[in-house]
Amino acid sequence: MVTPLLPLKMENVSVRRGGKTILGPITLQLADEGISILLGPNGSGKTTLLKTMHGVERPNTGTLQWNVGAEDARLRQAFVFQSPTILRRSVLDNIAYPLTLRGVKRAEARDRAEAFAARVGLTRVLDQHGMVLSGGEKQKLALARALILEPDLLFLDEPCANLDGRATRDIEEILLAVRAEGTRIVMSTHDLGQARRLGDEIWFLHAGQLRETTPKGQFFSEPQSDTARSYLRGDLLP
């Protein structure tokens, strides 16, 4: 049996940038299945936390311990950034790229890319240049490029920011299907409706501090922190 990637144990992790602490210290264990939704006002540290967990931001204090070795852990997770990087090549080759990077033969990579393009609804634009896609299509491309790695853990940073209702619904359906297949998801959003639709639990961040990690039902009816209560009321948080 393959050793599970999770739990991830984070202990006392903090990030300092520009002379101030922008995140933490955070102690947290990521385990189980499902979707954790990261909520919090602009600048609260959502992107920094996601990137730190994924290993693309280095913490200044603390440790992250995966259940497997660091290299194995790196290969078994994927990240969809808020502004996806689109490579100067076709949609198909954009999606195939992570596989070719990992040494999969080009023909096989392209076959699998075609299947993942279909999954996110990009079949129609497969041969187009990636750069000419619309914003929503670029997000779908980024999602397909992450899913093609069949990650055990998927991070997404506001994957539906700037998308219309239809594109958002498409992406939400894909994420729920991916979750049902057993992929653990951690994603940030500013969309409370989306948090309700997708989240199993809510992580609430404010000023770099993780104020609570609460099951969704409870978060929306009885948030544990004053700041989350204010946030849900729509107050402007300092």
**Binding positions for ligand ATP, rule: CB under 6 A:** 17-18, 22, 40, 42-48
Residue 40 interacts, among ligand ATP, Mg ion, none and using kind-specific CB cut-offs from 5 to 8 Å, with ligand ATP
Q: Which is nearer to ligand ATP, 45 or 223 (CB)?
A: 45
Rounded to 10 deg, the angle between the 165-180 and 106-120 helix axes is: 120
Nearest alpha carbon to residue 97 among 134, 149, 49, 135: 149
Smallest distance from the beta carbon of 232 to ligand ATP, in angstroms?
Answer: 16
Q: Which is nearer to ligand ATP, 110 or 211 (CB)?
A: 211
- Number of residue whose CB is nearest Mg ion: 47
Binding site for Mg ion (CB under 5 A): 46-47
Residue 52 interacts, among Mg ion, ligand ATP, none and using kind-specific CB cut-offs from 5 to 8 Å, with none
Smallest distance from the beta carbon of 126 to Mg ion, in angstroms?
Answer: 30
Q: Which is nearer to ligand ATP, 104 or 161 (CB)?
A: 161
Phi and psi torsions of 74, nearest 5°: -60, -40
Q: Which is nearer to Mg ion, 46 or 140 (CB)?
A: 46
Smallest distance from the beta carbon of 43 to Mg ion, in angstroms?
Answer: 8
Q: Which is nearer to ligand ATP, 116 or 203 (CB)?
A: 203
Residue 22 interacts, among Mg ion, ligand ATP, none and using kind-specific CB cut-offs from 5 to 8 Å, with ligand ATP
Coil, helix or strand at residue 13: strand
**CA–CA separation, 47 and 66 (whole Å):** 20
Torsion over CA of 194, 195, 200 and 202, rounded to 10 degrees?
170
List the strands of the sheet with 61-65, edge to edge. 20-30, 8-17, 61-65
Smallest distance from the beta carbon of 10 to ligand ATP, in angstroms?
Answer: 15
Q: Which helix (H) or strand (E) covers residue 216, if one does? A: helix 216-221
Structure tokens at 84: 């996806």
Q: Are 37 and 193 in contact (CB under 8 A)?
A: no
Smallest distance from the beta carbon of 85 to ligand ATP, in angstroms?
Answer: 17
CB atoms within 10 A of CB 209: 18
Q: Which is nearer to ligand ATP, 122 or 163 (CB)?
A: 163
Residue 130 interacts, among Mg ion, ligand ATP, none and using kind-specific CB cut-offs from 5 to 8 Å, with none
